[in-house]
Amino acid sequence: MSATETHVFKSEARELLDLMIHSLYSHKEIFLRELISNASDALDKLRYETLTDEALKGALATGNEGEIRLEVDKDARTLTLHDNGIGMTRAEVIQNLGTIARSGTREFAQRLKEAREGTPDGNETAALIGQFGVGFYSAFMAADRVEVVTRRAGTAADAPATRWTSTGDGTFTVGDAERETHGTSVTLHLRPADAENGLPDFTQDYEIRRVVKKYSDFVTWPIRLGDSTLNSQKAIWTRSQGDVTAEEYAEFYKHVAHDWEAPYETLTLKAEGTFEYQALLFIPSRPPFDLYYREQKFGLQLYVNRVLIMERCEELLPDYLRFVKGVVDSPDLSLNVSREILQNDRRVGQIRKRVVKKVLDTLEKIKTEDRTRYAKFWDTFGKVLKEGLAMDPDNADKLKDLLWFQSSADATAPTSLKEYVGRIKEESGQDAIYYATGESRAVLEKSPHLEAFLAKGYEVLFLTDPVDELLVDHLTEYEGKKLQSVGKGEVELGTETEKLAAEEARKAKQTENATLLSRIQAVLDADVKEVRVSSRLTTSAACLVGDEEDMSPRLERLLKATQGVSELPRQKRILEVNADHAILARMRARFEADADDPVLTDFARLLHGQALLAEGSPLPDPAGFAQLVTALMVRAG
């Protein structure tokens, strides 16, 4: 037998090991994932070589199936991982375990690629997990000494196995060992458990089961502890959609989403060729409780060859689709050295683009084929989907077609923009899509802003979600028709002839009431920037409107309620009055009798207060307004 030899690690080992143990991995429990991945690689390599090497045929025959076994000795505080994979020769041990960041898996995959390059099936690489040659050394996060005993498959029966031992101090020893079968055993002499620093007690079965279930549940080979198999081995996303039942999809969804209800919709994706990935996506039936918690992290689970790399990969999903759950599995993504974080990789963007397209296309299909079913989705996630108009201009057209709104055309059924446009009568002269924003449909239906529009037979959309205030900044047109707020700008309705006639009539009334309007302006100068005759009022006496670029009163209130935006500059608006209303006739009569009549001041303030109340805005001086109303009631009596 060969003598035991002591070697020094290559590649500045002491410093690099220290870096790995303390800095490279964010969670110490990941060492178990890495060692299981190495064992899985060894089994994959053996399975491949049994196909090409006659001497190895039968190495994974019946009775000697591939497996990964975990063994715990609580008294000795050791955890051992056994595999019956390819194993290593003494030279390979020194080469692979003696040089940090040398990856036997990477080298093997490269050789395999070169050997199979140009083959008809185009399959260039095996599904191997390891890439960097550093995962093995993560064992030193949990162990103060690591021992490896390994035998290469196909070696002579009388040849010794190899033992590798190190305490991670910059040196390792290599010597002969006893092992009858091919494969590798890695024994960790565990450090004391340190929950404060993220190191669980891995002599406890439940900790081992938890970590295996979390990271390695879908590894191809069985992972056993005692008589139990810890992993399901069923990566459901790798199976043909026709081979999976709805019940199986539902159970898997409940596993990844931590939900107890079946999903609303299941979506599958598969890309093959130079860049491969698979995805299994779910739209939940109900919103998660933390859907609107801005600090909460969302995203899809990212697997590389069925090994969990990231629990929530935000790069694969835009924020407005944060309700989507599921997994993405790809062997081709560029991870950093600890395999926890994605490097800048254009392929991530490609997956994200396909995921978004798949979700939006599926929702459009549901909306087209089953309005009742789509209504359930919209009631659950419509508010979140609206955020996409601001975040994703590339998909703006698709998102616009998915939007639903309440409408004056129907008291119960929502409408899409396409349906709205389809109802516009050509002879009406309507050239815009009109909407109103406010607290509720009930408030908006009584708003004086709608009077001329409804009288003209124009449909008005009711936008009542807080997000709608931001939505309309990005939803400016649809199919060539501008979206126009009924509470902003001047109103021009009807055909060109009707518009011209209405504007001439309005100007005449403006001139006729000019001095009275100036008197009202003088009273309300601190609150309004203009007083003018209205074209939008038919029954109400007055309303407040904004210029085209002004904030709506609701948006102003929302911003003031937001922390840090409480001191917004005061926004003056325009008071529009109905020149044909009885109150204006009464005010004209008093003004003509006495331009300084103090009652005109009270009337002006009451008009302003009524306009605020009608649109759902708070009164700046409720007590003062109440006193004015009381005084008016006394005079009327």
pLDDT at position 464 is: 93
For residues 84 and 209, state if they share a domain. yes
pLDDT at position 13 is: 52
pLDDT at position 119 is: 46
Q: How far is CA 180 from CA 149, 175, 558, in A?
A: 11, 16, 74
Residue 111's pLDDT band (cuts 50, 70, 90): low
Q: How far is CA 143 from CA 87, 100, 210, in A?
A: 22, 17, 19
Q: Is residue 451 part of a domain?
A: no
For residues 244 and 217, state if they share a domain. no
Q: What is the DSSP letter of 579?
A: T
Q: Is residue 408 part of a domain?
A: no
Element (H, E) at 330: none
For residues 160 and 295, state if they share a domain. no
pLDDT for 123 beyond 60:
no
Beta-bridge partners for 544: 575
For residues 106 and 180, state if they share a domain. yes
CA 546 distance to own-chain centroid: 35
pLDDT at position 96 is: 82
pLDDT at position 15 is: 58
Mean of pLDDT values over 393-422: 95
Give the pLDDT confidence of 209-255 residue by residue, as tens digits. Answer: 999 999 899 998 999 999 999 998 888 998 888 899 999 999 899 98
pLDDT for 120 beyond 90:
no
Three-state DSSP state, 303? strand
pLDDT for 102 beyond 60:
no
The rounded percent of the chain whose pLDDT value lies above 90 is 57
The answer to whether 578 touches 509, Cβ cutoff 8 Å, is no
The answer to whether 280 touches 263, Cβ cutoff 8 Å, is no
Query: Which residue among 348, 367, 386 closes a domain?
Result: 367
pLDDT at position 35 is: 93
Strand-strand pairing, 481-485 and 432-437: parallel
Element (H, E) at 367: helix 346-369
For residues 205 and 243, state if they share a domain. no
Residue 94's pLDDT band (cuts 50, 70, 90): confident
For residues 55 and 144, state if they share a domain. yes
Q: How far is CA 490 from CA 330, 542, 562, 576, in A?
A: 56, 14, 30, 10
pLDDT at position 134 is: 59
Residue 587's pLDDT band (cuts 50, 70, 90): very high
pLDDT for 606 beyond 70:
yes
Cα gap 72→536, rounded to integer Å: 81
Element (H, E) at 57: none
Mean of pLDDT values over 201-206: 94
Task: List strands edge to edge, sheet with 228-229.
Answer: 5-8, 171-177, 161-166, 143-151, 183-190, 78-83, 68-73, 223-225, 228-229
Q: How far is CA 117 from CA 107, 112, 123, 125, in A?
A: 15, 8, 8, 9
Cα gap 431→496, rounded to integer Å: 11
Element (H, E) at 504: helix 496-512
Residue 106's pLDDT band (cuts 50, 70, 90): low
Give the pLDDT confidence of 248-297 residue by residue, as tens digits. Answer: 999 899 988 888 999 999 999 998 877 889 999 999 999 988 888 777 78
Element (H, E) at 79: strand 78-83
pLDDT for 19 beyond 80:
no
For residues 220 and 74, state if they share a domain. yes
Task: Identify the residue with better confidence: 369 or 565.
Answer: 369
Which CATH number belongs to the domain containing residue 296 in this structure? Answer: 3.30.230.80
For residues 19 and 162, state if they share a domain. yes
pLDDT for 628 beyond 80:
yes
Mean of pLDDT values over 439-466: 93
pLDDT at position 72 is: 97
Give the pLDDT confidence of 420-439 residue by residue, as tens digits. Answer: 999 999 888 899 999 999 88
Give the pLDDT confidence of 155-179 residue by residue, as tens digits. Answer: 888 899 999 999 887 788 999 999 9
- Both tokens of 130, joined, read 């390891």
Q: What is the DSSP letter of 21?
A: I
Strand-strand pairing, 5-8 and 171-177: antiparallel
Mean of pLDDT values over 558-571: 67
- Both tokens of 63, joined, read 């009775």
pLDDT at position 90 is: 93
Residue 487's pLDDT band (cuts 50, 70, 90): very high
Query: Which residue among 201, 226, 251 closes a domain?
Result: 226
pLDDT at position 126 is: 45
The vertex-389 CA angle with 387 and 391, nearest 5°, equals 70
Cα gap 191→169, rounded to integer Å: 15
Inter-axis angle of helices 514-524 and 598-614, to 10 degrees?
Answer: 80
CA 637 distance to own-chain centroid: 63
Cα gap 443→434, rounded to integer Å: 17
pLDDT at position 328 is: 94
For residues 175 and 280, state if they share a domain. no
The rounded percent of the chain whose pLDDT value lies above 70 is 87
Task: Give the number of other Cβ atoms within 10 Å of residue 250's Cβ.
Answer: 16
| Poorest-pLDDT segment among 292-301, 325-334, 341-350, 622-631 | 341-350
| Poorest-pLDDT segment among 144-153, 235-244, 334-343, 608-617 | 334-343
Strand-strand pairing, 477-478 and 528-533: unpaired
Q: Is residue 576 part of a domain?
A: yes
Task: Identify the residue with better confidence: 35 or 564.
Answer: 35
Q: Is residue 269 part of a domain?
A: yes
For residues 273 and 178, state if they share a domain. no
Mean of pLDDT values over 34-48: 90
Any long-range contacts for 287-291 (C-beta under 8 Å, 24+ apart)?
Answer: 287/323, 287/380, 287/381, 288/257, 288/259, 288/323, 291/322, 291/323, 291/384
pLDDT at position 401 is: 97
| Poorest-pLDDT segment among 211-220, 247-256, 337-346, 550-559 | 337-346
pLDDT for 541 beyond 50:
yes
Name the one residue in this structure whose structure tokens are 């605020």. 612
For residues 562 and 606, state if they share a domain. yes
Which CATH number belongs to the domain containing residue 599 in this structure? Answer: 1.20.120.790
Which CATH number belongs to the domain containing residue 21 in this structure? Answer: 3.30.565.10
Residue 128's pLDDT band (cuts 50, 70, 90): very low
Q: Is residue 475 part of a domain?
A: no
pLDDT at position 615 is: 85
How many domains does the structure of the chain reveal?
A: 3
Task: Identify the residue with better confidence: 119 or 31.
Answer: 31
Q: Is residue 414 part of a domain?
A: no
Q: Which domain holds residue 569?
A: 496-547+555-636
For residues 212 and 263, state if they share a domain. no
pTM listed for this prediction: 0.78
CB within 8 Å of 118: residues ≥ 6 apart:
none
The answer to whether 487 touches 436, Cβ cutoff 8 Å, is yes
pLDDT for 30 beyond 60:
yes
| Poorest-pLDDT segment among 285-289, 402-406, 542-546 | 285-289
Q: Is residue 261 part of a domain?
A: yes
Q: How far is CA 81 from CA 94, 149, 184, 357, in A?
A: 20, 11, 8, 43
Read out DSSP for 601-620?
HHHHHHHHHHHHHHTTPPPS
SS (H, E, C) 103-172: CHHHHHHHHHHHHHCCCCCCCCCCCCCCCCCCHHHHHHHCEEEEEEEEECCCCCCCCCEEEEEECCCCEE
Q: Is residue 405 part of a domain?
A: no
Count Cα atoms within 13 angstroms, Cβ side, for 304.
23
Query: Which residue among 367, 401, 435 closes a domain?
Result: 367
Three-state DSSP state, 481? strand
